Structure 1
Amino acid sequence: MDTSSIVILDFGSQYTQLIARRIREQNVFSVVLPCTAKIDEIQAQNPLAIILSGGPCSVYDADAPPADPEVLNLGLPVLGICYGLQFITHHLGGKVSPAPRREYGHAEVELIDRANPLFSEIPANIHVWMSHGDEALELPPGFHLTAKTANAVAGIANPERRIWAVQFHPEVHHTKQGSALLRNFLFSIVGAKPDWTPGHFIQSTVTAIRKKVGSGHAICALSGGVDSSVAAVLVNQAIGGQLTCVFVNNGVLRRDEFQKVQRNMRDNLGLNLVAVDASERFLAKLAGVTDPETKRKIIGNEFIAVFDDEAHRIAKQTGGVDWLVQGTLYPDVIESSSVKGPSQTIKSHHNVGGLPETMKLKLIEPLRDLFKDEVRRIGRDLHMPDDILQRQPFPGPGLAVRILGEVTPERVALLQEADDIVVAEIKAAGLYQQIWQSFAVLLPVKSVGVMGDQRTYAYTCAIRAVHSEDGMTADWVPLPYEVLKTISSRIVNEVRGINRVVYDITSKPPGTIEWE
């Protein structure tokens, strides 16, 4: 790896990705590694400093994450956060014990060591976010107290060893001076340079891809969404005609999506695009299927089959295909190496990770170091249109997981019309870019209605709109009544087959964003 980085060792904190984001916001590159990473893995990242994250365990527990204490002896600046402070204390000769009074939520911290560069230009008393049940009872040799609450140690330091630590969480927005503290660590203590910019990323990535691919040929599974589109444009800038993008109509796309994506990708972005209308093939496989997971698996497997067919056809034309481009993002990478242990599968995810081994393709994942907002910044620097970059997330299985019950051509057409109205009215109200996702769901529920003095018996449509940062949690959006009124009126008047509209006001958890 050529870029120097701040290495964040993840002890299982729910805030670890936030640490990485806060550092990236300062235009400094950061990577998250599991706390179990070996020293040579850490050093392979060209670390400028180490940050030890928070975590749910106690350092004295038998199942505490088995991190190597040698990270404290690399001579690099170290910042411990919450559990990180306790890890430092425990392994350098201090004592950690359960606190008589646990601290969760808002707390007031007094900064004692005013000469501490970590606290430069930060007020002596600050409001912070705490989340700990243990405390540093005795400090390690050579360390001194830098901050405290009314109940416990809130900060320690050993400048000679270049180690600093705080018990609170500077990465969360509840800690008002948190960003200033992290800036002090990055620039005053570490001496990092703010050179992690979209322009730098594009230049270095294009050069690396060009070198990696050589004279080979790559294919990209293009969905028309933000991630795969930016990945395709970035790789196209590197190797041009050696890239072929494949866009598959699975029969459950949004209204006119098959035509719109082709226009965008070919005409606006100049990509070499192969469009495959496999809608009849997919819908035939989905006939009679009502179980959500079965739907997802059918669509995923059929996509792989279609993509495999196209890849072999392209290989015959080009003399071979060597590489597969994917729009993998950094949260996916972090979650795949999390120290939190296995989690229950809520729903399976649709991607091209299950391609047949006979294809023997090597991966190009140009966005695997980026968060979603950074991907959009890269896209803007690549001069991509906003109607691609600002698109709301759309599930891989498409409308199939928004049609409860059997997926039929008729029900797909109904939902396409209703969903198109939802998106149009959300955009007309100026809300589209403020909302994480907004869409319609077709329910397997019919009810009696009356239209023009005639009795109707038709489907019910649910509207869903949520706020979220990363899709992991979400709150329902209190859409203005006038917007809801317009959406409802248009759907029941314009979509023959739907006579009732309801609004979903469930957050995640306990619900999920999608209904299936």
Structure 2
Amino acid sequence: MKKVLILDFGGQYNLLVARRVRECGVYCELKSFRISMDEVRSFQPDALIFTGGPATVFEEGAPTVDAGLFSMGIPVLGICYGMQLMMHLLGGQCRKAITREYGKTELTVNTASPLFAGVPEKAVYWMSHGVEVETAAPGFTAIAHSDGCRHAAVECREKKLYGVQFHPEVVHTEYGTKILENFLYGICGFSREWTMESYVETALRECREKIGDKRVLLALSGGVDSAVAAALLQRAVGDRLTCIFVDHGLLRLNEGDEVERVMKGEFHVDVRRVNAQDLFLSKLAGVTEPERKRKIIGEEFIRVFEAEAKKIGKVDFLAQGTIYPDVVESGLGGESTVVKSHHNVGGLPDCVDFEEIIEPLRRLFKDEVRQLGLTLGLPESLVWRQPFPGPGLAIRIIGEITREKLDILRKADAIFREEMALAGLDRTANQYFAALTNMRSVGIMGDERTYDYAIALRSVQTQDFMTATWSRLPYELLDKVSGRIVGEVPHINRVLYDVTSKPPATVEWE
């Protein structure tokens, strides 16, 4: 299978570049620009892509690579900083831009170039640069320009070296996907080899070769990633997989039962469910500070998992549902700034007696994990489940956690999710949920005065969850959800809709 090596120079869209290449059916991996030539050769790429980055190419200490990369005889595409670095290393010159370009910009392109085949001569592209190519490297010609940028794209067609100052990976570039396809299919000669069907066979073979006749233990959280990992491992090794499902009582309505039913009934997975709601609620009693809630839940989860694991005895592998963005965001895959730490990346827990870790989803993006789940036969209701934080409803309840509040929130959240599905918006909004505020207010129900809680509804659109905008849901839908929640859920007399983007807010309330 052909594959692309993407070198990360620290730009904000770099993980998105990898996603777009995968969406074109071509396998790729994102690595730091610091990778050595020997490591590059070991990877055996069939093409290279250099990403954008915040540095200035001609300043001291700017990220750079071995110029030998351009002599490997494989196509190279440089994006933004990647293009400037290519010019800088191959004999061109860059300078501070006379006209800085940020945002949507009209470009005129040379449609005779294979990079712009089938693209209109003029279209809107997304620019984000304060440095420009003043003189192209020998052998290169300009194939696109804007009013403020003479070298908006360059090519050395003979050596299959291309550079673009714009970002084809973002949706604001009108023909970005077409340009990437032109590079991958037309210039590199690739085809759509990266499919879930082919990945399943590869992943099963790799799991079987690594695990052999040994035993695997997986912490089943109820989320999409761990469920897909369980389904894949069960197909690979059968009854040598054991899953521990710690039900902390903070899951959504009927969620624990559904996960157990699917995993046990349909996939015949050995699931050891621990119903620990009473224990977790006792530990959370009186706690209102969000980070304290997270810490208590995390620590208690480990203790419960450890106690149950000891009943099983020694296992050879500990499996985790780590996915590719977890790896990159934790600073282990590319060069981009560490966004957040992940509980399943970068360290092995010492609470279980095992020899090695296995992460069968480590190379997949979230949308690919969902595709894999469907390919394996998991029901859509589980595969398309909304993203859910590890601490569960505890961080969607402002203030102290009680059984009554959990019951209120479960019912309200279920109504919101049901109506989003009925409206056909369950796959268009990237995340949506209900949160129980700690605010009580006066209301009137049945001619009587009430003094009850307010529920907040939250729905966002996002590509990477690092930034997000609030969803413009139809008023008719919000009206229906509000009416149902107030009418069907006890102790709620007011429904609010959160119209705050990220930043300044976060997606979750706590």
Q: Shorter-chain TM-score: which interval?
A: over 0.9
| 1:429 to 2:426 alignment | no
| 1:339 to 2:335 alignment | yes
Aligned-residue offset at 1:409: 2.0
Structure 2 contact 12–336 (Cα < 8 Å) conserved:
no
Aligned-residue offset at 1:34: 1.3
Amino acid at match of 2:408: L
| 1:367 to 2:361 alignment | yes
Equivalences for 1:248-287 in 2 at 5 Å? 248-287=246-285
CA distance in 2, matches of 1:354, 1:457: 48
Structure 1 contact 222–228 (Cα < 8 Å) conserved:
yes
Larger mean Cα displacement after TM superposition, 482-491 or 25-34: 482-491
| 1:212 to 2:200 alignment | no
| 1:12 to 2:6 alignment | no
Amino acid at match of 1:147: A
Amino acid at match of 1:145: A
What's the CA shift string for 1:24-58, capped at 9, x where partnerless?
Answer: 12211011111112222222322001111111111
Structure 2 contact 326–342 (Cα < 8 Å) conserved:
no
CA distance in 2, matches of 1:300, 1:205: 30
TM-score by length of 1: 0.92
Structure 1 unaligned regions, length at least 5: none
Structure 2 contact 330–338 (Cα < 8 Å) conserved:
no
Give the corresponding residue for 1:478. 472
Give the corresponding residue for 1:139. 136
Aligned-residue offset at 1:296: 0.8
What's the CA shift string for 1:404-449, capped at 9, x where partnerless?
Answer: 1111222222222222222233233332222222222111112222
Give the corresponding residue for 2:507. 513
Amino acid at match of 1:255: L
CA distance in 2, matches of 1:304, 1:361: 18
| 1:464 to 2:464 alignment | no
| 1:455 to 2:452 alignment | no
Structure 1 contact 28–196 (Cα < 8 Å) conserved:
yes
Larger mean Cα displacement after TM superposition, 200-209 or 461-470: 461-470
Aligned-residue offset at 1:304: 1.3
Structure 1 contact 147–154 (Cα < 8 Å) conserved:
yes
Aligned-residue offset at 1:71: 2.3
Count of residue pairs the alignment pairs up? 506
RMSD: 2.1
What's the CA shift string for 1:248-274, capped at 9, x where partnerless?
Answer: 111211122222221122112322211
CA distance in 1, matches of 2:401, 2:177: 48
What's the CA shift string for 1:86-129, capped at 9, x where partnerless?
Answer: 10111122211001111222223333482x33233434434322
Aligned-residue offset at 1:11: 1.0
Give the corresponding residue for 1:183. 181
CA distance in 1, matches of 2:450, 2:189: 71
Aligned-residue offset at 1:354: 6.0
CA distance in 2, matches of 1:259, 1:125: 55
Change (3 A) 1:384 1:342: closer
What's the CA shift string for 1:114-170, capped at 9, x where partnerless?
Answer: 2x3323343443432221111111222232333322332122222344322122222
Equivalences for 1:121-140 in 2 at 5 Å? 121-140=118-137
CA distance in 2, matches of 1:112, 1:482: 47
CA distance in 1, matches of 2:203, 2:299: 31
Give the corresponding residue for 2:482. 488
CA distance in 2, matches of 1:402, 1:491: 16
Equivalences for 1:370-389 in 2 at 5 Å? 370-389=364-383
Q: 1:308 aligns with which of 306, 321, 325?
A: 306
Change (3 A) 1:487 1:109: closer
Amino acid at match of 1:509: P
CA distance in 2, matches of 1:120, 1:490: 53
Give the corresponding residue for 1:59. 57
The percentage of counterpart residues that share the same residue type is 47
Amino acid at match of 1:233: A
Aligned-residue offset at 1:232: 1.0
Aligned-residue offset at 1:341: 3.6
Larger mean Cα displacement after TM superposition, 95-104 or 469-478: 469-478
Structure 2 contact 386–431 (Cα < 8 Å) conserved:
yes
Change (3 A) 1:96 1:404: same
Structure 1 contact 226–376 (Cα < 8 Å) conserved:
yes
Structure 1 contact 308–355 (Cα < 8 Å) conserved:
no
Amino acid at match of 1:122: V
Change (3 A) 1:357 1:435: same
Change (3 A) 1:98 1:198: same
Structure 2 contact 50–79 (Cα < 8 Å) conserved:
yes
Give the corresponding residue for 1:323. 317
Change (3 A) 1:425 1:182: closer
Change (3 A) 1:81 1:124: same
Equivalences for 1:111-126 in 2 at 5 Å? 111-112=109-110, 114=112, 116-126=113-123
CA distance in 1, matches of 2:176, 2:488: 51
Change (3 A) 1:500 1:79: same
Amino acid at match of 1:312: K
SS in 2 for 1:127: strand
| 1:107 to 2:98 alignment | no
SS in 1 for 2:427: helix
CA distance in 2, matches of 1:125, 1:433: 33
Give the corresponding residue for 1:502. 496
Change (3 A) 1:103 1:232: same
Change (3 A) 1:5 1:156: same
Structure 2 unaligned regions, length at least 5: none
Amino acid at match of 1:23: V
Equivalences for 1:168-179 in 2 at 5 Å? 168-179=166-177
Amino acid at match of 1:268: E
Amino acid at match of 1:339: E
SS in 2 for 1:434: coil
Structure 1 contact 5–45 (Cα < 8 Å) conserved:
no
Equivalences for 1:26-175 in 2 at 5 Å? 26-112=24-110, 114=112, 116-151=113-148, 152-175=150-173
CA distance in 1, matches of 2:455, 2:358: 40
Aligned-residue offset at 1:75: 2.6
SS in 1 for 2:138: coil
CA distance in 2, matches of 1:44, 1:479: 49
Equivalences for 1:217-232 in 2 at 5 Å? 217-232=215-230
CA distance in 1, matches of 2:263, 2:352: 29
CA distance in 2, matches of 1:331, 1:342: 11
Aligned-residue offset at 1:397: 0.6
What's the CA shift string for 1:151-194, capped at 9, x where partnerless?
Answer: 32122222344322122222223323322222222223222232
Amino acid at match of 1:127: V
SS in 2 for 1:511: coil
Structure 2 contact 306–352 (Cα < 8 Å) conserved:
no
CA distance in 1, matches of 2:278, 2:194: 46
CA distance in 2, matches of 1:179, 1:481: 33
Aligned-residue offset at 1:7: 0.6
CA distance in 2, matches of 1:350, 1:31: 22
SS in 2 for 1:489: helix
Amino acid at match of 1:144: T
